[in-house]
Structure 1
């Protein structure tokens, strides 16, 4: 079940909002991508855990995700505990990703920053051979991802690098809008939340457009990195 990329989000829709364009592009290039949702988003003002699960399934089909799982940790109460770390270690060792994409290091929702640290620590622990975890009663091999990149969410964090998603913004938006209960719908009778406004929906485009403007492409998504990146050559770097 080896995947190239494991994208992890505290809630269903975090991955789509934060790096949906990147995921769509990587899949188009033949990369195998899995998504791990830590909670069911059950404390969300709009919708239910059941509707969110159905929406996540639809979004996965739009993006072409290979595998998607939900750990069903407690929404709103994520913590960097041994219990939660080991649950994530099991999934890292199951999918053996080279790269992990994780929540923003600082954000409006407290679960996002907590998830960022939790996932980071789990990635390190996953590489320790003396930590034993099991999948279907079989001892798992240690595995440590090569890189952890944190996508950007509500706050305008300055990225360490951006990835060109020109040609993939529409697919990102389609995947986000698969979460019909969560985002702007003028006909909805549910309470208005900060992410259920027209302005927030439009911000998905203008943020990608602004990062693209700054980097010389049409649209881009930004990431922060935990360690200094080294390039073997200058191929692939966009110059306007």
Structure 2
């Protein structure tokens, strides 16, 4: 299956928090978008891996993505090595995306920066013809594939974006997708331990960032991304 965009997240809910409105916008524009979660978030203080599985499926439905998979890497302990790179290469060659979105290059959670580099490295390696891969249960060898672009969304830390996307008409979908993770975020009736992302302040900050990035480009809401190489435009008029 050919996808236009493949979004990677170290944990279920990373994609929604970092790029949920952009995903919803591209789906609304007719693009085929998929999400691959690296782990099940089993080390999360609140909820469980099984609950996160259900929440991720609900969020995927809200966003309208074509497919969502989980590689079941070890939460907190996966590394950037051949085994993990090969698993991501198989996903890249399976879905052949033009664009990959992945975790922030630097962030509070160690899995975010680690996952960012892992996916980026795999995107390069996936284009090499001497790396042979098959999907489990399929006898067919996969063809090499390298995405045209790799972009990194922004998470806990306020990194300066290299470009921002106007998501004003899709911010409500992002909110709904985030709130699908009811075990993780603010619930005044929950008796589970408090975490840095379970406060109402955290949810408010997600909206504030989108409003602030939007303010900087003259729209209501925006999401920011960093790039690995210079972005190019065909005309000065391509910029809003």
Instruction: Give TM-score scaled by structure 1 length.
Output: 0.98
Which residue does the alignment assign to 1:198?
Answer: 200
Q: How many Å separate the matches in 2 of 1:236 and 1:2?
A: 27
5 Å-filtered alignment, 1:41-56, equals 41-56=41-56
**What is the CA–CA distance in structure 2 between the aligned matches of 1:137 and 1:40, rounded to whole Å?**
28
Q: CA deviation at 1:78?
A: 2.1
Q: What is the aligned length?
A: 238
Partner of 1:167: 169
**Whole-Å Cα distance in 1 between the matches of residues 174 and 189 of structure 2?**
23
- Partners of 1:125 and 1:38 in 2: CA distance: 18
- From 207, 210, 224, give the equivalent of 1:208: 210
1:65 aligns to what SS in structure 2? coil
In the other structure, the counterpart of 2:71 is 71
SS of equivalent to 1:78? coil
Match of 1:157 in 2: 159
Equivalent residues in 2 for 1:97-176, closer than 5 Å = 97-135=97-135, 136-176=138-178
* Alpha-carbon distance in 2 for matches of 1:153, 1:224: 11
The gaps in structure 2 that reach 5 residues or longer are: none
Secondary structure of the equivalent of 2:3?
coil
What do the CA deviations read for 1:125-146 (whole angstroms, capped 9, x no partner)?
A: 0000000000212100000000
- Kindly provide the CA deviation profile for residues 108-138 of structure 1, in whole angstroms up to 9, marking residues without a partner as x: 0000000000000000000000000002121
CA separation in 1, counterparts of 2:206 and 2:218?
Answer: 18
For the residue of structure 1 that corresponds to 2:35, the secondary structure is strand
Query: Take 1:88 and 1:116, find their aligned partners in 2: how far apart are those partners?
Result: 12
User: 1:237: how far off?
Assistant: 2.2
- TM-superposed deviation, 1:224: 0.1
- Greater Cα offset, 146-155 or 132-141: 132-141
When the two chains are superposed, the root-mean-square deviation of aligned CA atoms in Å is 0.7
d(CA) in 1 for partners of 2:31 and 2:123?
20
User: Within the alignment, does 1:29 sit opposite 2:38 as a pair?
Assistant: no
State the SS of the aligned residue for 1:222.
strand
Aligned partners of 1:165, 1:237: CA distance in 2, in Å?
A: 15
CA distance in 2 between counterparts of 1:206 and 1:65 reads 25
Q: Equivalent residue for 2:61?
A: 61
Unaligned regions of 5+ residues in structure 1, if any? none
TM-score of the pair, normalised by structure 2: 0.98
Structure 1 position 230, deviation (Å) = 1.0
- Shift in Å, 1:64: 0.3
Rounded Cα–Cα distance in structure 2 between residues aligned with 1:228 and 1:48: 40
**Aligned counterpart, 1:82:** 82
Describe the SS at the equivalent of 1:114.
Answer: helix
1:196-215 Cα offsets, whole Å, 9 max, x none, are: 00000111111000000011
